[in-house]
A and B are shown apart, each in its own frame.
Chain A
């Protein structure tokens, strides 16, 4: 699967990349949210893993931006969030068209399960 991860944490993206390439996925990542938005728009991924809390441009900003295009559902955006975000906010994001959530701190098993879930749908 072609997967894009947008997260400002360098160590996490490095670790996930090592795993993803080992498993055999076409994995790309960026630590810059603005570049992330660009890549999501320009390329055709099977799945996007998006961190919500990034400085300057947050995951929520990116989602709002993409929602305007109307193509957000196709992108299969999986949002990573720490428990700080309240449920109403998360439900709101689902309404905007994201696919689902992953809890932070990020768990590799959960990511792999999510990939299987999207891959089989």
Chain B
């Protein structure tokens, strides 16, 4: 009877052993599969609680260029590059000892001194007593990607350096322009001042003595031509300033009707000399915020042109300033010889002059209208004309009422 019981137990035990064997086989197979996968895909190492290496896979050796003999039993600092500060490793240790998995990027040093970057996951593994028994590191080599990142960063830094240098250069060129304009203004204008002082003093007998008629005539010519010179120098400097973008405008409240009154007063004697009429049609009382002296400069220019081109005795000039959709609309209309479409198209260009014989009187540099355009551009306005040969010319310009952006 015992034999029978014994054999039944034996069978049972054998069956259990077979089961266990089967399970083991299954587990062994699974482990092998995992091992193969990791071996191919990742860099793996295992540390004990003393932070010493107990296992490295083939990839680890490949990346670090150490053999497994070199590594086993060594502390993990063997692959340290010195790139990360101590704080970096303290943080890792804190995470791991509190049972958390650490994920991050680390720069390592290989046996030959070269560097490689790893994207790692470090897992603290708990043993039966729920205490940390080992640390498993699973990583991938990201050295190539890191290299690309570094070179992009470098080129960005280089780019911003180049931009900084270019900015400095532009600033110094701009400063040179400022200095050039200031110097030119000063150098060209200052000799004219003593000439004017002496020549106007010569006209006053009490100051420098009495002059005979011939001498007085000479002085008059000096004064007249000095005025012309002043105008030409002024035009050249204005043109230069506009070209360099260095013309400054002072915007203040202007009573438009008073401005137009002053213009009429200034130029009426010249029109009357020619036997012509200058009529100020301005009735509206408007106020604008703009540069009065520059506006006067534009009006003077347009009105002088008109005086030149109107016929003697029958010539008529009408000026006006009234509200419009684009701000204040100024106009200077004449019944002069007018101009062809071809001429109209070239009118605002620098140095362009129509029939030069007519323009001599006002010292034509051909810059007047291009300066007017430059001033209007700077003040945020527009300038244009209507003209027909033989019928006359109307010049218009607008000054915006609101401060334009």
Interface of chain B, main secondary structure? helix
B252 within 8 A of A: yes
A14 touches B194 (CB 8 A): yes
A11 touches B191 (CB 8 A): yes
A19 within 8 A of B: yes
Residue numbers in A under 8 Å from B190 (CB-CB)? 9, 11-12
B250 within 8 A of A: yes
CA distance A19 to B197 in the complex (A): 8
CB distance from A11 to the nearest CB of B (A): 5
A57 within 8 A of B: no
Most buried by B among A11, A16, A107, A108: A108
Could you tell me how many residues of chain A have their Cβ less than 8 Å away from some Cβ of chain B?
A: 20
The one of B191, B196, B293 in contact with A108, judged by C-beta atoms closer than 8 angstroms, is B196
Residue numbers in A under 8 Å from B208 (CB-CB)? 19, 22
Given A19-B208, A23-B207 in contact, is the A105-B193 Cβ separation under 8 Å?
Answer: yes
Most buried by A among B190, B201, B208, B293: B201
The one of B198, B206, B293 in contact with A15, judged by C-beta atoms closer than 8 angstroms, is B198
A107 touches B200 (CB 8 A): yes
Given A18-B198, A23-B207, A109-B200 in contact, is the A87-B193 Cβ separation under 8 Å?
Answer: no
A120 within 8 A of B: no
The one of B197, B200, B201, B209 in contact with A12, judged by C-beta atoms closer than 8 angstroms, is B197
Residue numbers in A under 8 Å from B189 (CB-CB)? 105
B192 within 8 A of A: yes
Question: Interface of A with B (CB < 8 Å)?
Answer: 9, 11-12, 14-16, 18-19, 22-23, 83-84, 86-87, 105-109, 112
The list of the 5 closest CB pairs from A to B, nearest first, reads A15-B194, A15-B197, A108-B197, A11-B194, A105-B193
